[in-house]
Amino acid sequence: MSTTKTFGILAVAVAACGVKVNGTSYNLGGSSGNPASAAPASAAPASASPAVGHSHASGDPPRYAPAPATCRAASTYRHQPPYLETPVDPWIAIDGDRPIVFDGGKEGRRPDADCSALHDHCVRECAWFVPDRRSLEAIERAPMHVPRRYYAGDDEMGSEQAAMFRTVPATARNLKPGSIVVATPYPSRKPATEEAPWTMGRLDRVDLAAGKMYMKGSTQPFWLSATRVAVIAYRKGGPVAILDGRKRDELAVRVDELFLPLAETTGVSEPWSQVGSDGQPLEVAAGPDLEWTPADCSAARDHCLRPWAWFVDTSTEVTVARHEKGGFVDASGTRIGSAGAAYRTIPATRATLRSGARVLVQLPRHPTTESQAHRDDWFFVKVNTVRPDGTFTIAGERQTPAIEHARIPVLFWMPGEKAEAL
């Protein structure tokens, strides 16, 4: 069984009726909202691409077409080429060992479309990612913004342009540590439009199970479904170079290799899942760095807390921590030396919150990132009244948090004792 199937990322099945990627089926050869061709992206198209004639007047639906054999230019600002049904072979922009000179025609915005990897992320088929010299040197240390352009000849390449890169959607096959990759900023699971910004860097590591990858110099992830890999480079004076030891016939990607956006997961960690059969907290090793990008930290997503989260009362504050080597460590990995009772909690609801209850909240505001959920202080407060508008009052305080922002302790553990239900 392949690595991608082992982790359930691709789960692909190709049949006469269509293709399935990440559990979603797509029709074959259609031109409606979300089609895909069953042929490998490297296969030569049966015919040249259809004539450009798509009007992008307000309200027009997006159109899709098979990958063309040559670059397609827009004839007017209103008549733009259709989006790709499948990822294009990146060699389409190469003639021999040199880039094809191409101006793109009268470039204008096309209707918003599904910019997933299935449609080549809405990147036009002959576009290059072109970092300036300073950016190319900088990405060795940290990711940088990178624009897209067409090749207009060496004379048009300024001295500041170090190189140009042709890319393809990321696959388990082409993701190699150290490779140059580009991605739309997290938490985007795919580009929102063809004009979405892109970030370039060096691939550090891949977490197939989570569907994410990391660039060198950044602790924050990018979704694999929003990632592309540089496979061809061109520096002024040429010739073009295939990157990372690949062969010409290994550049194009197939539909059944693609990472499409995974469904957002919801759910609350089961409180007793972190307690062993001996009644003691389970040992948890350090995991991926906490994410500081804005997120949905609602009750449905367990307030952005990791499944291992314990609330440890140190008498001066309540700290979110994980159990490691017989003790608790906070989000930064620092051991908590004066740990008292540790609690496992669940989000409060209208049905479970009661006047007089002792609950945990972050004040004065609720977390909006995973980092805030684990690093900012939580406070034990006493519920005074539960109000009809979905908030509650706190004894001795003027603030009125939302009911769903509170967490109710449901079990506790004391050093030397066994965990008990509250």
Residue-level pLDDT at 181: 98
pLDDT tens profile 112-149: 999 999 999 999 999 999 998 888 889 989 999 999 99
Confidence of residue 35 (pLDDT cuts 50, 70, 90): very low
Instruction: Name the percent of the chain lying above pLDDT 70.
Output: 86
Rounded average pLDDT over 269-293: 92
Which residue has better confidence, 137 or 3?
137
Which residue has better confidence, 44 or 349?
349
Q: How far is CA 324 from CA 23, 65, 309, in A?
A: 37, 54, 12
Confidence of residue 109 (pLDDT cuts 50, 70, 90): confident
Q: Is the pLDDT of residue 34 over 70?
A: no
Question: First-to-last CA distance in the chain?
Answer: 45
Residue-level pLDDT at 134: 85
Cα 82 to Cα 105: distance, rounded to the nearest angstrom? 14
- Tell me the residue ranges of DSSP E strands in 280-370: 310-313, 318-324, 327-330, 342-347, 358-361
Residue-level pLDDT at 137: 87
CB 7 within 8 A of CB 211: no
Q: Is the pLDDT of residue 65 over 90?
A: yes
In single-letter form, the type of residue at position 69 comes to A
- Residue 373: helix, strand or coil by DSSP? helix
* Among the listed residues 218, 75, 93, the one whose alpha carbon sits nearest the alpha carbon of residue 149: 93
In the block, residue with structure tokens 């952005």: 304
Cα 67 to Cα 38: distance, rounded to the nearest angstrom? 12
Confidence of residue 56 (pLDDT cuts 50, 70, 90): low
Q: Is the pLDDT of residue 6 over 90?
A: no
* Among the listed residues 195, 232, 196, the one whose alpha carbon sits nearest the alpha carbon of residue 95: 232
DSSP state of 121: G
The structure tokens listed for 96 are 């021999």
Cα 381 to Cα 182: distance, rounded to the nearest angstrom? 46
Cα 24 to Cα 95: distance, rounded to the nearest angstrom? 36
Segment (H or E) for 375: helix 370-375
CB 97 within 8 A of CB 238: yes
Q: How far is CA 282 from CA 8, 108, 277, 417, in A?
A: 26, 56, 9, 14
Residue-level pLDDT at 338: 74
Residues in the chain: 422
Residue-level pLDDT at 141: 92
Cα 367 to Cα 167: distance, rounded to the nearest angstrom? 37
- Residue 225: helix, strand or coil by DSSP? helix
Peptide bond into 261 cis (omega under 30): no
- The pTM assigned to this predicted structure is 0.74
Residue-level pLDDT at 59: 64
Rounded average pLDDT over 194-210: 95
Residue-level pLDDT at 76: 85
CB 115 within 8 A of CB 122: yes
Cα 278 to Cα 286: distance, rounded to the nearest angstrom? 22
Cα 8 to Cα 260: distance, rounded to the nearest angstrom? 12
The CA-based angle 276-289-268, given to 5 degrees, is: 45
pLDDT tens profile 310-345: 999 987 789 999 999 889 999 989 999 876 899 999
Residue-level pLDDT at 22: 39
